Structure formats: C-alpha cells, structure tokens
C-alpha cells in the first residue's frame, strides 16, 4: 500500500535557515530520504508564496495565499510504499520535522 | 443440537471469528460468513449430528460461505480484495483440525492507536467479547446505533488505512501492549464504576476485562507485568468454605461459595482461639482454613449477626440478591412482623368496611 506522509509545521516552532539547527535538520532530511530509498516527495515553500485557484460558473478565480490560513502549514510530503500502517507510522516517526511539527499519515486511495 | 451450537458459540465465538478475520482479512465478511455458517449448522447438525470438532466445522463452512459471498459481489469489488477467493480456498481443510488461536492478533488490531479509544473499546468488546451490542452501548451510555456507527467506522479505517492483522514485533510491543491494556482497563473501570445498570458493579464488563487479560496472558506468556495486572483486577470469585451447622452454611445452602474479594487485612490467626472462646463463630474460611472469611454470633446472642470479608454486593442483583442481603432483610422483616401484621389487618378491615 502507498501512503502519503504529510508534514505540517508551525514556523514559530521550526528551525529557520541560517543557524546550526537548520543545517542539522537538512542533514537529517538527507539521511532520512536516503534511508527511505524509493519514494516520491518534496519540500514546499512557505504559504506566503501560495496561489489558490478555483473555477466557479466557468470562471477562474485566482487568489493570493493558501487555501486555509492556519498556524501550521503543509511544508512537504513523501509518498512511500509500505506493508501496513505500522510501517508507515514508523517512517513518520523518523521524519525529522516530527520533532517540531506533525506528520499526517494518509493511505493513497488506489483507483 | 441447538445446545451444542449454543455451547460452541459461547465458548469459541471469538476464536472462530479471529481465525476467519485472519484468513479473510475483512471484519464484515468474516462476521457475515460466520452467520451463514451458523445458519447452516442449525440445519446440517440436526440432520447429520454434531461434528467431531464443531468449531473447526464452523470455520471451514464459513470459509466456503465467504467464497460464495465473494463470487456474488461485483467484479470491481472483488478486485479490491487483493487476497481474493483463491487465498481463502487455499487449504480449506475438512473441519477436523483444531483451529489456531488468532485472538492475540485480533486484540492488537482492535486496540490499534490509530483508532480512537472509543472505537478500540467498542470493537474489542464486539469482536472478542460475548456481550450484545445493546449491552455494550448501555454500559458506555451511548445509543445502539451510535455504537454500531463507531464500529462501522473503525472497521473501515482498519481496511482502508491498512492496519495490519499481526502481533507487533518485540521493539513495538511495549507501546502496543500499553494500548491494549488501556482498553482493557477502561472496560474494567466501566464495569467497576458502572454508570448504570442493575448491579452496583457491572460484573459482565469486569468479567469481559478479565477474560481479555487472560487471553493476553495466555497467548503472550512472557508478559509478567500483565499477569500482575490480572491480579489487581481479579475481584474474586475466590472459593470460600462454609462450615457445617453455621448460619452462613444454612443461608447459602452450599458448602463452597465463590465471592469477590477486595481487602488487605485479615483476622489475626493468633487471636482465633480466644475469639472463639468468647463466642465468635468462624463460619467461613478459605478452603485451607487459614484465612477467616465469615464470622457470626449464635442466634441466642443476636437475631442476625453475620459478617463477611468478601464483598457480597459485587455479585448481588435485584433479581438475584446475595444470600447475605436476602436473609438479613428476611430477618429484619421477621423482627418487624408483629407490628406490620396488625397494620396490614387494619387496612383489610377498613377496606372491608368501605365495600
């Protein structure tokens, strides 16, 4: 089964670029990604860079900003293949940001 | 025949269900197939006699019924069940082999932390316990449909989120076992602090919790801590020997009774001779007679003086009162009787006068 690990962070609690904590975090992510081996995923830029698109009555509405303003925002994701939820949860505990934010584990709905 | 089915149902239902869920990987399919198998049993057993291994017969028949059910489902639905009917048909057996005990896998699945605690409790009681949905709902103060909804949602999550049907590996075990114990403790407390019901203590829920602990202890024998937990939950059903020619023996009408214990202190055995000399009767003891369980005074000393170490209220129900309570009330009524009777006569007289 495939699972998406959705990483949510509160920037106030999360290391910011520039300090040694950030360097450590990047090293941890590199190590984690290498350990996962076969995955798809990416880090995301912050919500101030987001644009939201909707189509209503055949009209395209483009709005600056994220779909939802919250303190925590989605900062990245992984899609991994696992035997069971337990394995996916184990992988989620190894996501470096789990220490600062949260990781949502969602099964991919196979169509 | 019905008797045999009833017996196997009470004794082996959760084991049979656990085995079927293990094979079918689907709670609903397992429950439906088992219902079908039970329906078959009422007919087949009546015609051909009870099989040698009734539980094995039910498992084998339920597997066949599951295949029938899968064949009748739509093609797209069938594709979704990755294991498919071939896996179920594999080594279907003749129903003579003893069935394996899969209840440990089942309990770890039902008590997975990815389910809400409410759902864990509901699912555990429903699949591993012997209580009806209605009883479970009552004990947790929710409606039957709300409970059913909870169970449906939990089963769906198990299926869709891929919660595995297995005993956790040793490194995961401490956490996962903690979750199982939390569920069992909650069930026990719900029984012990019964929010409502006919008994002061809802013995059924306490018994269910005890049974679940026993499953974990028996199937996971290295877990010493849990054995201790079983000890603290063991409210009793410890034997008490009642001595002949005593009030206690007379009012229970049995030589050995089983009652629940919750005490820390005992009668000092050094003083037993002196207390006996002074007129106290030790009418109930542990079977080895080392612990005093019931004391009383003779009728000459007091109309009704009987006291127990154990807690008779734990097993007492309005429709099945503990003998100690029943007889105490009886004795109290007998004391009050002369006065009562005269007032009762008054009522009769006045009624007679009115008519």
Taking an 8 Å Cβ-Cβ cutoff, which residues of chain A contact chain B? 1, 3, 82-86, 88-89, 105, 107, 109
A contact test, residue of B105, B162, B171, B179 with most A CBs within 10 A: B162
Contact B295, B285 (CB under 8 A): no
Q: Which residue has the tokens 């003893």?
A: B98
Q: Which of A10, A21, A2, A27 is nearest to A74 (CA)?
A: A10
Q: What is the pLDDT of residue B354?
A: 36
The residues of chain B scoring below 50 in pLDDT are: 235, 344-355
Q: What is the pLDDT of residue B352?
A: 37
Q: What are B344-354's pLDDT values in tens digits?
A: 444 443 333 33
Q: What are B56-102's pLDDT values in tens digits?
A: 999 999 999 998 888 877 665 655 555 555 556 666 666 667 767 78
What are the extents of the domains in chain B? 2-89, 103-233, 238-324
Interface contact flag, B164 A89, Cβ < 8 Å: no
Contact B159, B115 (CB under 8 A): no
Q: Which of B318, B328, B194 is nearest to B252 (CA)?
A: B328
For residue B12, what are the contacts with CB-CB under 8 A and spacing of at least 6?
Answer: B54, B55, B58, B99
What are the start-end ranges of the H helices in A1-111? 20-36, 85-93
B contact test, residue of A2, A85, A94 with most B CBs within 10 A: A85
Averaged pLDDT, A7-20: 88
- φ, ψ of residue A98 in degrees (nearest 5): -60, -25
| Radius of gyration of chain A measured on its C-alpha atoms | 16
For A105, the closest chain B residue by CA position comes to B161
Q: What is the pLDDT of residue B353?
A: 37
Q: What is the pLDDT of residue B62?
A: 94
Whether the per-residue pLDDT at A60 is higher than 50: the answer is yes
User: B2-89 has which CATH code?
Assistant: 1.10.1740
Which residues on A lie below 8 Å from B171 (Cβ)? none
For residue B152, what are the contacts with CB-CB under 8 A and spacing of at least 6?
Answer: none
Residue A6 lies in domain: 2-107
CATH of the domain at A86: 3.30.70.1060
Round to whole Å and give the CA distance between B144 and B151.
Answer: 11
Averaged pLDDT, A31-55: 90
Q: What is the pLDDT of residue A24?
A: 93
Interface contact flag, B164 A84, Cβ < 8 Å: yes
Model pTM score: 0.64
Contact A101, A72 (CB under 8 A): yes
Q: Which of B68, B30, B72, B69 is nearest to B158 (CA)?
A: B30
Round to whole Å and give the CA distance between B298 and A91.
Answer: 72
Tokens describing residue B161: 């989120």
Q: What are B311-353's pLDDT values in tens digits?
A: 888 777 777 888 999 999 998 998 886 655 555 444 443 333 3
Interface contact flag, A86 B172, Cβ < 8 Å: yes
Number of domains in chain A: 1
Round to whole Å and give the CA distance between B346 and B5.
Answer: 56
A contact test, residue of B161, B163, B171, B173 with most A CBs within 10 A: B161
């Amino acid at each position: 089964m495939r699972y998406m690990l959705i990483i949510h962070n509160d920037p106030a609690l999360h290391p910011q670029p520039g300090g040694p904590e950030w360097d450590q975090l990047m090293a941890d992510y590199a190590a984690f990604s290498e350990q996962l081996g076969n995955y798809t995923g990416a880090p995301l830029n912050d919500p101030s860079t987001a644009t939201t698109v909707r189509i209503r009555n055949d009209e395209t509405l483009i709005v600056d900003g994220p779909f939802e303003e919250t303190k925590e925002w989605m900062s990245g994701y992984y899609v991994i293949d696992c035997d069971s939820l337990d394995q996916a949860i184990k992988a989620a505990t190894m996501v470096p940001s789990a220490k600062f934010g949260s990781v949502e584990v969602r099964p991919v709905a196979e169509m | 025949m019905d008797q045999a089915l009833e017996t196997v149902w009470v004794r082996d239902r959760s084991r049979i269900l656990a085995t079927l869920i293990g094979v079918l990987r689907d709670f609903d399919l397992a429950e439906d197939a088992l219902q079908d198998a039970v329906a078959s049993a009422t007919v087949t057993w009546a015609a051909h006699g009870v099989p040698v291994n009734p539980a094995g017969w039910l498992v084998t028949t339920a597997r066949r019924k599951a295949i029938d059910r899968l064949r009748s489902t739509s093609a797209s639905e069938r594709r979704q069940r990755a294991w498919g009917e071939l896996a179920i048909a594999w080594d279907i057996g003749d129903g003579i082999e003893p069935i394996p005990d899969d209840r440990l896998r089942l309990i770890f699945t039902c008590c997975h932390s990815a389910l809400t605690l409410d759902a864990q409790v509901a699912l555990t009681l429903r699949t591993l316990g012997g209580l009806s949905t209605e009883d479970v709902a009552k004990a947790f103060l929710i409606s039957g449909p709300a409970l059913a909804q909870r169970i449906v949602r939990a089963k769906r999550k198990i299926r869709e989120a891929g919660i595995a049907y297995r005993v956790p590996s040793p490194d995961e075990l401490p956490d996962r076992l903690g979750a199982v114990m939390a569920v069992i403790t909650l069930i026990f407390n719900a029984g012990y602090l019964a929010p409502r019901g006919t008994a002061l203590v809802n013995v059924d829920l306490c018994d269910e919790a005890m049974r679940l602990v026993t499953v974990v202890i028996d199937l996971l024998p290295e877990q010493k801590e849990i054995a201790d937990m079983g000890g603290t939950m063991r409210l009793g059903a410890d034997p008490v020997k009642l001595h002949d020619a005593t009030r206690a023996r007379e009012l229970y009408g049995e030589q050995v009774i089983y009652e629940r214990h919750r005490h820390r202190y005992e009668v000092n055995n050094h003083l037993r001779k002196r207390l006996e000399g002074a007129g106290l009767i030790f009418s109930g003891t542990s079977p080895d007679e080392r612990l005093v369980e019931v004391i009383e005074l003779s009728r000459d000393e007091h109309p009704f003086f009987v006291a127990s170490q154990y807690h008779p209220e734990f097993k007492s129900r309005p429709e099945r009162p503990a003998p100690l309570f029943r007889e105490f009330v009886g004795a109290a009524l007998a004391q009050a009787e002369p006065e009562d009777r005269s007032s009762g006569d008054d009522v009769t007289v006045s009624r007679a006068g009115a008519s």
